[in-house]
Structures are given as C-alpha cells and as structure tokens.
Amino acid sequence: MQYTHLGRTGLSVSRLCLGTMNFGTQTSEEDAFKIMDEALEQGINFFDSANVYGGKTGEGITEQIVGRWFAQGGGRRDKVVLATKVYGNMGSWPNFSKLSAVNIKRAVEGSLKRLQTDHIDLYQMHHVDRYTPWEEIWQAMEQLVREGKIVYVGSSNFAGWHIARANEIAKSRHFLGLVSEQSLYNLNARMIELEVIPACEDYGLGLIPWSPLGGGLLGGVLKKQSEGRRSQERMQKTIEQNREKLEAYEKLCADLGEEPADVALAWLLSNPVVTAPIIGPRSSDQFGGSLHALDLKLSEETMKNLDQIFPGPGGKAPEAYAW
C-alpha cells in the first residue's frame, strides 16, 4: 500500500479510502466486516462514513456496523484513520440537521456512540450551511477538538469560495481550519478543476474524490451493461447520453490492456492534489479489483487521450473561460 499525508497535516493515510456508504443497504454486516478486515490486510487505513448512511433516517446504521466491527478488538480502531460526516437530516425535529452548534454537538455524540469510539479523526461537514455563520461553526469545532472528540475538520461538497471563507475565518481564530475536501470528481465530472482544486492546492487541503468511477459509468459499463444497477433505466439513459465517449474510453483501456476502473482511479491518483479516491465496494470481489490502480502509471500520451475523450472545463478559473 502507498501512503501520503492528508493535505498539509502530518497525518498519514492510504492512497485509497474505503467508503462505507453501501454497508447496511447493499452490503450485509457480515460482508462489510469481511471488506473492512481485507482493507486492513491490504494496508488501507483510511475509512470514510457519515451519520446519515444506512437508509433509515436517524439510525446511522452504517456507523453502527463500523462500530460493531471496531468492538471486535484486535487493534482495529487504532489502525484506522476514521472519517465521518455531519449535516444530513437525522430526525424530523428542528436542529437535527445542518451545522448549528447545537446540531454539531448532538451529531458528534451520536456518531461516537454508534462508532463505539472516543474520537473521530476527521470530522467532515457533509455540505455547506448557508445560514450558520462560520464563527459559530468554528467555535463548536474548536470545543470538540479541546474535548478530544475530533482531531481534524474537513469539508465535503464545498465550492472554492466556501473553502477560502472558512479557512480565512479559522486563521483569524488561530485554528487549523479545513484540512480536506471531499468532492465529486472523476473523468466525466471535472467541474471542480475550475476553482475547488486550486483552492485545495492553495490552502493545503487534501482532496478526497467521491464517485471516482462515476457511479459505475467508468468501470467498463458497456461490457457489463445488463448487470446490476447498470441495467436500471436511469443508468441506461446515462450510458446512451455518453455512449460515444464511453466507446472511445473503453477502446483506449482495451488497447492499454487495463481495466477501465483501474484507469479511472489511476487518472485521479496522478493528480498531486488528490489524497485518496473513495472506493465503495459492495462485495469482497469488487474490493480486490481496486488495488491494481495504485501501481498503474499512465503515460503522457494516455493522459492527453483521456483529456480528448473527457475534456473537462478547460483548466483553472478564470483562464478556462477568460482571456
């Protein structure tokens, strides 16, 4: 396994992050335990979750599964850099969602209980809260750091200016601020190259791409079009909308002798701002297929060909759209 620092911190994390979103919905607890055990065996020490994962509002089923896995002992908790999230709706009553100081306090206590741990290594804001001032958010996060309940703070689904605003206010409070951003990023979804990636680079945030395979679109979907969720009407529509690109992409991968999923992950890993793409296997077989991407180095010619197939927004803003 390869490791890197999470952004500007001294924290070492694996170059692949195990996403747990399927645990409790598409993956049984027994299979989830196998996947997490195998992840540790392969050297993956970075696990990502969220209080809303699991399919039932307010129950945090995915966090409960991870917590019961930790409770088996064997050094599991100490080996894992544990990330989870706050923001989503955990109940129908007021203040059971978003980023008020009241909800942050309630949410972290709930996550700690479900995860059966005394601290969260990376506590991420799942979305920006447009109605809660940063002074309130940072005061709440600072208190949790002082209490030892969280170590680092990260964001998810933030715009570049949200990252800048948050970290400038954190700096004025002599607080470390955001150390990571978890964003939608893959070959077919490159909008964050305009401003989010430059903001991460400038402020020293590690970038943690979610949906690195575009919901399966970049995983060889044309060959497996009739399997699993690929056969669903929504996915079939997406395939047809992107068929020309996908045909060119899968041919390029075949010419390289590589699996499309590995090429998609290797493309992300080649970006120095990317810390670790999140892989979300639903089974042990799916998990094992992701590891080869770590050793796959794409040539300059291949990178250019990928840019031609999936052109992206044209680089950084404002040069991407202005003279």
CA distance 50 to 30: 20
Q: Which of 3, 53, 87, 321 is catalytic?
A: 53
Catalytic, 53? Answer yes
Q: How many CB atoms lie within 10 A of CB 59?
A: 17
Cα 251 to Cα 175, 205, 242, 295: the distances in Å are 49, 35, 14, 21
Which amino acid, one-letter code, is at 161? W
Which residue, among 153, 64, 168, has the nearest Cα to 113 in the 3D structure?
64
Pick the closest to residue 36 from 265, 290, 287, 289 (CA basis).
Answer: 287
Cα–Cα nearest to 269, from 182, 315, 208, 318: 208
Q: CA 95, 96, 100 angle in degrees (round to 5)?
A: 50
Q: So which residues are the catalytic ones?
A: 53
